[in-house]
Amino acid sequence: MNKPLVLVVEDDVAVRNLISTTLETHDYRFHTAPTGQAAILEAVSYNPDVVLLDLGLPDIDGIDIIRRIRSWSQMPIIVISARSEDTDKIDALDAGADDYLTKPFSVEELLARLRVTFRRLNYSASATGSEKVVYTNGELKIDYAAGCVFMGDAELHLTPIEYKLLCLLAKNTGKVLTHTFITREIWGSAWENNVASLRVFMATLRKKIESNTTTQKYIQTHVGVGYRMLRV
Ligand code: CA
């Protein structure tokens, strides 16, 4: 199997070197781009397996780069942001980014995000061709045809909204979904940003799915950002 190719888009030399060295020692291939223009050129020319994208670049805004790449490719994009404001991350995720890292980040964090992204990639590759009728993730099973959900052998009784929420998260396993994205998908644009309601439904859904309510085995909360279904 070919080593995965990572495109590192970062104008800060020190951070770029840290990422490159990490990738090199963990058996990834990589290309680097110090500007937005170079990033787009690299993305088009080499079709990388994943893009690590710094949002603050000298020439083009990171969000714009995500939109441009998304106009022709679904390649995974992990955003790296020095800005601590949640709005930047949220804008990036809504523009089509898959995940995010906040600076300063550890090498372990970076590697963990890459692993999540590649697991997700492998899963969607195996799922393409025939639309899966049954979703399985650890003990969790969704039978789409019957509209039933199981945890192990036990059937879970979900409300229609909980079921829709669960299916949306399952369909995007491994990807962080923002509050806005979820509320728009579940209730439509009139209810966009009704985070309080979403939180209530998510809490009841979680009570039914997580055997231990203090751990987040299946549904991970990203405070101020959204939720992610983890691959167990
Ligand atoms: Ca920067």
pLDDT tens profile 45-59? 999 999 999 999 999
CA of 12 to the centre of ligand 1 (A): 6
Average pLDDT over every residue of 197-218: 87
Q: Is there a single domain that holds both residue 112 and residue 56? A: yes
Rounded CA-CA distance 140/210 in Å is 10
Rounded CA-CA distance 38/44 in Å is 10
230: nearest Cα among 162, 140, 154: 140
| Proportion of the chain above pLDDT 70, given as a percent | 92
Tell me the residue length of the chain: 232
What pLDDT shows up at residue 80? 93
Measured in Å, how far apart are the chain's first and last C-alpha atoms? 24
Q: Is there a single domain that holds both residue 20 and residue 108? A: yes
Least confident of 97-111, 117-131, 178-192: 117-131
Question: 106 φ, ψ to 5°?
Answer: -90, 160
Rounded CA-CA distance 156/87 in Å is 35
Q: Is there a single domain that holds both residue 111 and residue 141? A: no
Structural domain of 116: 5-126
158: nearest Cα among 200, 125, 204, 118: 204
CA of 208 to the centre of ligand 1 (A): 42
Which of 126, 160, 177 is the endpoint of a domain?
126
CA of 54 to the centre of ligand 1 (A): 6
pTM: 0.79
Rounded CA-CA distance 219/232 in Å is 10
CA of 206 to the centre of ligand 1 (A): 37
Q: Is there a single domain that holds both residue 150 and residue 218? A: yes
CA of 10 to the centre of ligand 1 (A): 6
CA of 179 to the centre of ligand 1 (A): 26
CA of 58 to the centre of ligand 1 (A): 7
What pLDDT shows up at residue 59? 96
Tell me the β-bridge partners of 78: 52, 99
Which of 126, 145, 168 is the endpoint of a domain?
126
5 alpha carbon, distance to own chain's centre:
18
Rounded CA-CA distance 227/232 in Å is 15
64: CATH: 3.40.50.2300
Residue 44, token pair as written in the block:
């088009």
3-state secondary structure of 173: coil
Least confident of 25-34, 174-183, 185-194: 185-194
Which of 126, 155, 175 is the endpoint of a domain?
126
DSSP state of 28: -
Starting from the edge strand earliest in sequence, which strands make up the sheet with 77-81, in order?
29-33, 5-9, 50-54, 77-81, 99-102
Q: Is there a single domain that holds both residue 166 and residue 209? A: yes
17 alpha carbon, distance to own chain's centre:
24
CA of 121 to the centre of ligand 1 (A): 27
What pLDDT shows up at residue 95? 92
Q: Is there a single domain that holds both residue 141 and residue 69? A: no
CA of 185 to the centre of ligand 1 (A): 32
Q: Is 152 left (phi over 0), alpha (psi -120 to 50) or beta?
A: left
Report the domain count for the chain: 2
What pLDDT shows up at residue 81? 87
Q: Is there a single domain that holds both residue 121 and residue 143? A: no
CA of 4 to the centre of ligand 1 (A): 24
Least confident of 24-38, 51-65, 80-94: 80-94
Average per-residue pLDDT in the chain?
Answer: 90
CA of 35 to the centre of ligand 1 (A): 9
Give 129's pLDDT tier (boundaries 50, 70, 90). very low
CA of 15 to the centre of ligand 1 (A): 9
CA of 73 to the centre of ligand 1 (A): 23
Please name the residues in contact with 226: beta carbons below 8 A apart, sequence gap of 6 or more. Answer: 90, 93, 176, 177, 178, 179, 181, 182
**Cα–Cα distances in angstroms (integers) from residue 6 to residues 39, 43, 70, 185, in the given order:** 12, 10, 17, 31
